[in-house]
Structure 1
């Protein structure tokens, strides 16, 4: 049975989520107060409606409590974002994800019961900063304040060396989750696996350990 999603706010962030969910075959209700935006998604989402989600009766009429997951992607209007989230919590929606504008907004959202709060602009800024600082970091996913998953590009320093020879777990406390070589992906590679220049190494570990490993093994400068 397909999961049912509702996306409230069809700006850049909400619109991209709506499109992605629809492309994955999910049932999506697209909601916005702007009729032009709703019309843009009428042929993309399963249903698209003009509605004020800060109104309790409006949410009830939409049957919002029956949706598996509601994403609140309201843009600049923090008050509307908070009120909408509060209404969803009061109607016992199963899972509520909300886009936050700043840290204060995030704190309020958590206090009133949002299940997950995201900072797309901040998170993208962190990822870009890591890419700028190191030419070896291709992508970066923050798991917590101290731990991350990082994609690193293998260079000359590790070309032809096996994982058992590099002994990354013992020396750096990091784990190699996968190796991408062209179109091939080797998940949980064996210790006897040899790395090749230009391989993409997916590593999980503490930020300080990943940085140390990268400087020792992946920085050819």
Structure 2
């Protein structure tokens, strides 16, 4: 069965989520207070309606309680975001993801029971910052406030050595959970300690941010 989603707020962030979910074949209810934005998504989402998500009666009429996952992507109106999240919690929505505008907004959302709080501008800034440290760092994803997973191209200091030689866990406190081999494009999950790193290999590394930072500086970032 197709999962059902609702996206409240069709700005850049909400609109992007709506498009991606729809392209993946999901049932999406798109909601916004502005007719212009709703019209833009009438041919994209399963249903697109003009509605005020702060109105409990309206949400009930839309059948929001039957939705598996609601994404609150309201723009700059923090009060509307908080009130809508509270309303959804009271209606018993299974999962609520909310876009936060700032750290204070995020704290409030966590306290009132949002299942997931995203901070797209901040998170993207961090990912870009990590990627410009070195051409070897391909991606960076936060798992929590102090743990992340990074995708890195093997630096020259790693080439020709195996995981035993590098001893990344003992030396840097993080773990290589997978290796994508550049020559074959095969992904080896939970690689053997004797596996040799070759040019073009990509390592998926997980750990505390401070440990990953040391790993990046010493093994990933090639000397100019």
Q: How far did residue 185 of structure 1 move?
A: 1.7
Tell me if the contact between 2:10 and 2:30 (Cα under 8 Å) persists in the aligned partners: yes
Q: Distance in 2 between matches of 1:93 and 1:218?
A: 43
Give the 5 Å matches for 1:59-98. Answer: 59-98=59-98
How big is the alpha-carbon RMSD for the aligned residues of Structure 1 and Structure 2?
1.4
Q: 1:128 to 1:84 in 2, by over 3 A?
A: same
Give the 5 Å matches for 1:1-221. Answer: 1-182=1-182, 183-221=185-223
Q: How far did residue 55 of structure 1 move?
A: 0.9
Q: Distance in 1 between matches of 2:133 and 2:222?
A: 15
Q: Distance in 2 between matches of 1:106 and 1:66?
A: 26
- Unaligned ranges ≥5, structure 1: none
Provide, for residues 1-35 of structure 1, a one-character-per-residue CA deviation record: whole Å limited to 9, x for no partner.
22111000111100111111111111110111111
Tell me if the contact between 2:137 and 2:220 (Cα under 8 Å) persists in the aligned partners: no
Q: How far did residue 108 of structure 1 move?
A: 1.9
Tell me if the contact between 1:7 and 1:30 (Cα under 8 Å) persists in the aligned partners: yes
Moved more, 175-184 or 6-15: 175-184
Provide, for residues 139-168 of structure 1, a one-character-per-residue CA deviation record: whole Å limited to 9, x for no partner.
111222322111121122111211122222
Moved more, 209-218 or 160-169: 209-218
Tell me if the contact between 1:155 and 1:198 (Cα under 8 Å) persists in the aligned partners: no
Q: How far did residue 133 of structure 1 move?
A: 2.7
SS of residue in 1 equivalent to 2:157: helix
Q: How far did residue 51 of structure 1 move?
A: 0.7
Give the TM-score of the pair, scaled to structure 2: 0.93
Q: How far did residue 118 of structure 1 move?
A: 0.9
User: How many aligned residue pairs are there?
Assistant: 221
